[in-house]
Amino acid sequence: MKFWIVTGLSGAGKTSVLRHLEDSGFQCIDNLPPKLLSQVIGLCENVQLSKPIALGVDSRSGALFDADAIIDALDAGGDSLDISVLFLDCDTETLIDRYKETRREHPLSAEGITLEQAITRERAMLQPLRERANFVLSSTGMRARDLFVRVDELISGDTQTPSLRTEIMSFGFKRGIPREADLVFDVRFLPNPFYMKEIRAYTGLEAPVRDYVLGQPETQAFLAHLFGMIDYLIPLYQKEGKRRLMIAIGCTGGAHRSVAISEALCAHLRGKGDSANITHRDIALEEASWPFRRAR
């Protein structure tokens, strides 16, 4: 019997993911108090459910929340239970925007603290679970559909998933460095297509900008060093037991150079047979700010 524990930050998409899993044939229980986790797992085993089980456990339990109880339940299962933990993460700025849009209160909101402080407090509460998670998935910059695709990829490939999964994210420095990044590379030293009037309305996903960026001598030299470094580091991270490596590549706005370089790195890793996924955090925001943007 396969169990998935879905946890993470409030507003990162846990409830949406659980609904998606339910639609995909899972038996789902949301907002389960952690102290009941072991009992529910035992009950599911006793009734011999024929479908996989997803259990939503997070800080909405309020006074009933106990991260240690979740870890104890995982330890008690040992090798006898097939349990994976999916932790949904998100940057603070995006979470604040989502709460403003929905006008809902954060589970840890209290008189005298701001929303940002509540998010910071929750992040600290959940850190032990994040460190224990089999998979950490950031929903920053993701539409619901894209998030569901990534969850499906994780679940369908669970039995063949390598010990380390590489996530690549392009971003713009003017909107901040991704907090979840393990490695950050600044590519603002490369020639900037933004100042080329004939191609600046394109992004790094499109041939005019991609070919311009990748065709520069500086880029070719940089990519040779970057590919060599990442190829060297991945086995070392795997040896240390790291499950997820987030590589963030930034330029000024996050739509030209960082996108082209991120795509090149992803293609390189996939070409070697490594597991690699890519997200472009700021590309849509940057395009929306262009007065010269093209009609798509």
Integer Cα distance of 89 and 86 in angstroms: 10
Each residue of 188-225: pLDDT tens digit?
Answer: 999 999 999 999 999 999 999 999 999 999 999 999 99
Give the DSSP letter of residue 79: T
Integer Cα distance of 50 and 55 in angstroms: 16
| pLDDT at residue 159, as a whole number | 42
Each residue of 93-116: pLDDT tens digit?
Answer: 999 999 988 888 898 887 778 999
pLDDT of residue 161 exceeding 70, the answer is no
**Is 283 in contact with 142 (CB distance < 8 Å)?**
no
Output the CA torsion 240→183→281→100 (10° steps). 80
Residue with tokens 């907002």: 31
CATH architecture of the domain with residue range 2-160: 3-Layer(aba) Sandwich (3.40)
| pLDDT at residue 283, as a whole number | 93
pLDDT of residue 242 exceeding 90, the answer is no
10-23: average pLDDT? 93
Integer Cα distance of 207 and 214 in angstroms: 10
**Alpha helices, DSSP H only, in 103-256?**
115-132, 144-156, 207-214, 217-239
| pLDDT at residue 264, as a whole number | 98
pLDDT of residue 241 exceeding 70, the answer is no
Calculate helix-pair angle for 207-214, 257-271, nearest 10 degrees: 80
73-101: average pLDDT? 86
Domain boundaries, the chain: 2-160, 165-288
